[in-house]
Every structure is written in C-alpha cells, then in structure tokens.
Amino acid sequence: MTPSETPPTYLSRRLRFSSAHRYHHPDLSDEENRQVFGACNNPYGHGHNYELEVTVTGQVDPVTGMVMNLVDLDRILQTEIVKRFDHRFINHEVEGFERTVPTTENLAIAIWRLLEDKLPEHCELHRVRLYEDPDLYVDCYGERR
C-alpha cells in the first residue's frame, strides 16, 4: 500500500505547562477592565496548569509506520511552547501579549501560529486544544484552506 492509499491519520500529543496571566486591555480604563474581566483582572495575575493537545494529520509513512516522528514533534513542542510559556507571566514575558489579552482563546491561536509552519512538509497541523482547567478548553483549527 502506498502512502497515498492510506487514509488520513491523526496523531495527538498532550503536554502541560504552568503560566500566570492577567486579563487586562491597555485601551480600557482600570474601571472598564474590572467590569469586563472581573476577578481575572487582578493586578497581580493568577495562574493555571494548562494542558495542551496538539493533533497533526497526514499519511502514514510505509517505511516508518508514522505520521510524524514523536521525537521531532516533542522537540518542536518543547522549543516553541514549553520554553516560551512554562512558568511565565504571559502578559509580561511572552512576546505578542503586550496588548493582547491572554485568554485561552488567544493563547490557542498563538500556539497554532507558533506551530503551523514548524511541522514537516508531509503532515499538517489539524487541531490545537488548550485546557485552562478540566472544565474549560478551547479548540483552534486555524484558517480553513
């Protein structure tokens, strides 16, 4: 069976990182920020133990039997996500969040953008699922082509 004859296959990897953030937009007054974001606008921030699922899709390679080598995927996730977000105050330490509220939605979009061009040509990013806590998660599927 050639790679083009195999059905598309989805490979997911889960990882965890811990970060702090504050919901605050610089274009709003302090009072407006408190009204919009409530307790999440605490000036000292608050933290989460995030859980991230990254799903890639592609054809299974007939030689390796893999959509993507997990060693390569783990290296990309470590470099692009864990080193950037783990044990950071996102508003102050992560590029791109100086004026962007670090909601779970915005974090998922940022993670998508960090990963989409880092994968090998033979597979593509299918989904980023980011859990802020066990009862709240966001799915990002990027731009539909």
Q: Is 116 a catalytic residue?
A: no
Q: Is 132 a catalytic residue?
A: yes
- Active-site pick, 21, 24, 123, 132: 132
- Active-site pick, 25, 40, 80, 124: 40
| Sequence-distant contacts of 68-73: CB under 8 A, at least 24 apart | 68/11, 68/119, 68/120, 68/122, 68/123, 70/11, 70/13, 72/120, 73/11, 73/13
**Can you tell me the distance from the alpha carbon of 56 to that of 123, in angstroms, rounded to the nearest whole number?**
7
- Active-site pick, 32, 46, 87, 92: 87
> Who contacts 65 (Cβ-Cβ below 8 Å, separation ≥6)?
none
Catalytic annotation, residues:
40, 87, 132
